[in-house]
Amino acid sequence: MMEVPRSGAIYVGPTCHVQTADKRFGSHVLDDIKTFVNEGHGVTNEVDLDDDDDDDDDDLEDDDMDDGLEPDGIFDGWQHFTDETAASHPDEDDEHHGFPRLARCRANLTALSQQYNLYFAAYQGQIHVFQPQKAPQILPPPSLILRPPRSRAGKLIGGYIDRNFGHQVNYIVTGELGNLEVLLMCYDDGDVIAYYTHLIAHAVEHGGASQGACHVAPACRIVTPKPFFHENVGLSAWGLAIHRRSRLLAVSCNKHDVTVFAFATKSGDAGQLDSEPEASSSSQDSPKLWSGQTALELERHFRSRTRTWRIVLPLGPAGSNIPSIAFVDDEDGNAERVVAVDIAGNTWMLNIWQIGGFPAVYLPNTNRGADHQRYTGWGIMVLPDSSFKLTSSNRAAMGLPPKDILGPNRSPGDRDKTELWLDITCSLHYIKDNAVDSRVFLRQRYGPRYFLPQLRSQATNVHQQPLPTEGEQDHSEESDFLDESDDSDAPEPYDAYQQISDLDAESRWLALSKAPGPKGSGIDLSEEELRGFRLARTIVPTLGQTPPLFGFSEFLDFMGNNLMRKGLTHTVDWFKTRLPSHLSRNFSLLRTTDSDVELQSLDPRSAGVFCKDVIVPHNRRPNNVLPWDLTQRMSERISMHQHVPALNLVVLGSLCGRVALLSLTKPPSRHHHAAAGGP
């Protein structure tokens, strides 16, 4: 197996080659493909559904049901699988259909190895392993087909999208875990499975299938690799993250929590966290927990990485399903936190190692354009300052003249009057050779708001006031934006949220479970020392719980208590969180929604940037009847993203196949980062 060269040189050919379905599978499959795409119920495009001016709550709920989106679910697809054909299991090798079937309405189903010439594609529950070639036959038949097994829990839990066929992939990704690259995938039945790519490469090289046999020969099956990791998180799993240095795997699921799997590391390993817990009080001042230790004693042992942990991080009461997560590093490059975005538009910062720590939550608000249609989070990335290319001017950084930037919008009811967001949607007008004419769509959806002559004639409007032009040093206009306005008529914030957001950091013991835990929840380090080994354990650091999950029934009981853990979890307002200086100084968050992209520095004093409809919808024709998973709300969501640091680039993708390239840039002003780009 030839490894990918690491010369650093990047060459992009001048010709784009396309391998069509008929070239790949044969023309006889085209009718079958059309039948597969259109099976199930057809749904009218949402453009027509939105023509009604009635905006009451009943209509909103009806739209949600039409889209298969539920308040407590990423997608409730059961209603669309009423016929047995759509939900039935296909033949394992798709001999009858002539082409492999895709799982519908998922997040990301492809991954590319960075160490080997291997391309992975998830077809329902299987992983097809390809060796890409030069055009015209870019993808030959698969060199290997992985058939990951289903766990006992997965069989019992079943599917969330498809009840009858739950073992289908929702997300797949490659990344380095320590010194080895892994292929990580999560399933609709909650299964999480990982393979080492070097073992897959070995199987491909020595299995005799490198020439592209359609089906793996019996001799090849002998060397088919087995997964080194197989767990279940209790319900449909969606978000994945891999941390190389700290050797962590993170998974989010529809139980409104994030599970981090922390493997035990040897003393002195780069990923080991052996620092003392940060706390002003002594161990004697902290409460005694289920483990039999005080909170600080447990945290010290927890951070030592001397055993394998399943770390469960529940969201607070406002949390929802989590389609995307990412790790946040400490100053030494070790994973310290997880950021997550949920389908309610909330952004969460979860501390992995702190016992009794509060999750920080950032709620959507109209400052960042969350005032149209439904605001649903689909992707999140953590970008270091080194990812942004320094430019010589504001225009080069933002992708448009400063006078065409909209913002800031301080609408009544926003929680934080000092928050500044800049709308650079008009940068879409300045993209050369864009695939679509964004002006037509923006005018259809927003009227004259993004029409450039209209912008310039409204330059004095406080909600659309432009920034100073290039070269101007006077920031008085921006200062005016930050002045406190009369908010006496503003609605009161959510009471429960307000109560928990005012908690002092010294009160982090408040949510800890101080009552004795169930039998087996204690941790006796001295006894383990005598035995010479330590069992893997589960921990909920927010609550200080160490539940014993040594049997299947105990596992099911624990998974069934997710709502209780969520209700007991206290949260703190994002703006009241004291982040370490290296985070606020060096990192930004990039979020994607149904159609928009946002860039927010972790420095609360910095301006955020957003661009609406960065990927213009693929089908805007009225009265079109579409397959249920190709409607605008389903297929346009930006659930795929890839960071290319060497190019200062982020690639965004939607389910319908449209892609946006974002150039990561920053102007001369230190804290004003910008993302400019388009499809």
Q: Residue 219's pLDDT is what?
A: 43
Name which of 112-126, 135-149, 428-442, 617-631 the model is least confident about: 617-631
Is the residue at 56 inside a domain?
A: yes
**219 and 104 fall within a common domain:** yes
Whole-angstrom distance, CA of residue 398 vs CA of residue 250? 33
**387 and 460 fall within a common domain:** yes
Whole-angstrom distance, CA of residue 585 vs CA of residue 581? 6
Q: pTM here?
A: 0.80
Q: Residue 6's pLDDT is what?
A: 56
**212 and 335 fall within a common domain:** no
Which of 232, 250, 267 is the endpoint of a domain? Answer: 232
Which pLDDT tens digit goes with each residue over 6-29?
555 556 666 777 888 777 887 778
Which pLDDT tens digit goes with each residue over 40-84?
544 434 333 233 333 333 333 333 333 333 333 333 332 232 233
**439 and 553 fall within a common domain:** no
**215 and 248 fall within a common domain:** no
Is the residue at 495 inside a domain?
A: no
pLDDT-derived band of residue 518, with 50, 70 and 90 as boundaries? confident
**549 and 613 fall within a common domain:** no
**Whether pLDDT at 262 is above 50:** yes
Q: Residue 257's pLDDT is what?
A: 96
Number of domains present in the structure of the chain: 3
Which of 181, 209, 232 is the endpoint of a domain? Answer: 232
**391 and 452 fall within a common domain:** yes
Is the residue at 488 inside a domain?
A: no
Whole-angstrom distance, CA of residue 622 vs CA of residue 634? 17
Which of 205, 232, 259 is the endpoint of a domain? Answer: 232
Averaged pLDDT for residues 560-581: 88
Averaged pLDDT for residues 478-503: 35
**219 and 121 fall within a common domain:** yes
Contact 277, 300 (CB under 8 A): yes
Is the residue at 11 inside a domain?
A: no
Is the residue at 564 inside a domain?
A: yes
What's the first-to-final CA gap in the chain, in angstroms? 35
Q: Residue 67's pLDDT is what?
A: 36
**564 and 622 fall within a common domain:** no
Q: Residue 423 has which token pair?
A: 């709308």
Domain extent for 642? 380-469+581-678
**570 and 622 fall within a common domain:** no
**60 and 169 fall within a common domain:** yes
**Whether pLDDT at 591 is above 50:** yes
Mean pLDDT of all residues in the chain?
75
Is the residue at 261 inside a domain?
A: yes
pLDDT-derived band of residue 535, with 50, 70 and 90 as boundaries? confident
Which pLDDT tens digit goes with each residue over 297-313?
899 999 999 899 999 99
Q: Residue 657's pLDDT is what?
A: 82
Is the residue at 591 inside a domain?
A: yes
At 93, give phi and psi (nearest 5°): -105, 10
**177 and 284 fall within a common domain:** no
Whole-angstrom distance, CA of residue 637 vs CA of residue 376? 9
**Whether pLDDT at 191 is above 90:** yes
Residue with tokens 């997550």: 340
Whole-angstrom distance, CA of residue 144 vs CA of residue 120? 10
